[in-house]
Structure 1
Amino acid sequence: MATTLGPLGVFLPISFTKPISADRQREAAVRLEHAGCRTVWTNEVVGGKDALLQLAVLMAATERLVFGTAIANIWAREPQHMHAAAAQLAEAYPDRFVLGMGVGYPQQAAATGREFGRPLATMRDYVRRMDEQTWPPAPDVAYSRIIGANGPKMLALAGEIADGALPAGRPPEFTAEARTTLGPDKLLVVALPVAVGTEPAEVAANVREHHETGADHVILMPPMDVGFESCMAYWDELAPRL
């Protein structure tokens, strides 16, 4: 899957203050594809939007873009539902989907009326339950599962029960540790915070440093408070230069 993702991707800009219409999201995805972008990621919290439904809309509007969730929140849907939705996307759009998922925060569990519990045990049980029988059966299609992991214990669990890990906002030293923990054959996706307006040469240097320390794929992650169009204009500028 690392080959399919390519070395670099970007987050589709988001807004926490107002909804972005489906038309604007589709236009943005097509715009990124035409600019030469290879992989686009989207986020998810509990409420507001469903990342997997969002990607179904965007994948239908594009021809080649690979999409991933960074991350799909485990409290937003039941494990079998997560697997069934992911498998349907993977069946409909072969080699164009990666499921990144994470345990999130206690308040997100509380928002759904559930106990957060111990993060490692919660994630292990969730992934186990993803493969329980559903009715009707989910498509028998393989897709990559990676786990959001910003600490050594979750990294080790990702290496054990998933296809890789997705740390966010961590320095290259952590990327090196993650590669050592995961081993050479697991997918290591790194989310790199980037301020809109940063010089392309500086962005390229930061991306290169994470690749040199073990990342397979780096996601450029804008600040949460950046405007949708401001971020899209910046991605337009960066895409052909990176």
Structure 2
Amino acid sequence: MGMTELGPVGAFLPVSFTSVEPDVLRDAATRLERAGYHAAWTNEVPGKDALVQLAVLLGATSRIAFGTGIANIWAREPETAHAAADFLARAHPGRLVLGLGVGYPEQAAAAGREFGRPLATVRRYVDRMGEGPYPRILGANGPKMQALAGEIADGAFPAMLPPEGTAQVRRTLGPGKLLVAGLSVVPDRAAAAEQVAGAMNQPAFARAMAELGYAEGSDRLVDALVAHGDPAAVAARVRDHLAAGADHVALLPPAGADFAASLEHLEALAPAVLA
């Protein structure tokens, strides 16, 4: 494992499902670095290679670390993923975290593959990668994937969990593993409630929230899952996850929202969440 200092708070580059020009992404990464964020994260959507994007962004910045949140394992063979991450980590020492995830059956189907058994698939993938000078973490919202992350990876990246969920992941991982908590951030309560309602349509997610004692549709659930309101309120939610055992909290704007507005929101939050 290579040493990468993420610091306590980072931010996702706004997730766009349409084409974003390289210059726009370079400018966004530079602005997040200037705002003081310790790390920036990118995900993988159709037509956007997470690692190629990071190659461009690492070269356009000087200090900020980057992570993939999450590079989809169906997008590339494990040997290819390792070769790319290894080269980037050696070119930019201490500035890369590789987040990997099995995603969804439709993503496997799009690559002409069978989804199969996710735990076994991820185990084989990581084993084929071999060692590298960079930390690798697994996108892991369920307890079995979290346990696997503690066994075969350097940590885990759960998202859309309340602080109690983050504490549960820390107990599963044990000490010494990197725990990155993805925290959704939106401008207001209405947007937060809408996002939570969408997530609760997934039966497994709804069951997990019920097991943690949250009633469907409750204000308490909305406040626990999505950071909203003024910067001080968002900063309080960040502190909750850090206190629960997260090493790093990654702020995640709504997927598909206006790119420029999401970036401005992250910049406005920076002084409070980084204080």
Q: Which amino acid aligns with 1:116?
A: F
Q: Offset of 1:2 from its aligned partner?
A: 8.2
In structure 2, the partner of 1:208 is: 239
What corresponds to 1:105 in structure 2? Answer: 104
Misfit runs of 4+, over 6 Å:
none
Please, which of 155, 178, 186 is the counterpart of residue 187 of structure 1?
178
Deviations 1:54-96 (A, max 9, x none): 0000010001010000000000000000111000110000000
Structure 2 Cα separation of the partners of residues 169 and 141 of structure 1: 29
| 2:12 counterpart letter in structure 1 | F
User: Where does 1:147-158 land on structure 2 (aligned, <5 Å)?
Assistant: 147-158=138-149
SS of 2:82's partner is helix
Task: In structure 2, give the amino acid aligned to 1:104.
Answer: G
Aligned to 1:14: 15
Q: 1:212 to 1:3 in 2, by over 3 A?
A: farther
Residue 226 of structure 1: how far off its partner (Å):
1.4
Report if aligned partners of 1:75, 1:109 keep a CA contact under 8 Å in 2.
yes
Against the structure 1 CA distance between its residues 85 and 3, is the aligned structure 2 distance closer, same or farther, given a 3 Å change threshold?
closer
Q: Give yes or no for contact 2:15–2:254 (8 Å, CA) kept in 1.
A: no
CA distance in 1, matches of 2:178, 2:139: 12
Following superposition, the deviation at residue 225 of structure 1 comes to 2.9
| Identity over aligned pairs, percent | 62
Tell me the residue number matched to 1:228. 259
1:236 Cα deviation from its structure 2 partner: 1.4
Contact 1:2 1:216 (8 Å CA) reproduced: no
Gap regions ≥5 residues in structure 2: 189-228
Inter-CA distance 31–224: structure 2 relative to 1 (3 Å threshold) = same
Tell me which of 211, 233, 250 is aligned to 1:219.
Answer: 250
Contact 2:82 2:132 in 1 (8 A): no
Q: CA deviation at 1:240?
A: 2.1
In structure 1, what residue type is equivalent to 2:19? P
1:28 maps to 28
Contact map agreement 2:68 2:97 (CA 8 A) in 1:
yes
Distance apart, 1:120 and its partner CA: 0.4
Secondary structure in 1 aligned to 2:5?
Answer: helix
Structure 1 unmatched ranges of 5 or more: 132-139
Q: Which residue of structure 1 aligns with residue 47 of structure 2?
A: 48
The amino acid that maps onto 1:226 is A
Task: Write the distance in 1 (CA, Å) between the matches of 2:108 and 2:95.
Answer: 29
Report the Cα offset of residue 141 of structure 1. Answer: 4.7
The one-letter amino acid of 1:144's match is P
**Contact 1:72 / 1:100 at 8 angstroms: preserved in 2?**
yes
Normalized against structure 1, the TM-score is what?
0.93
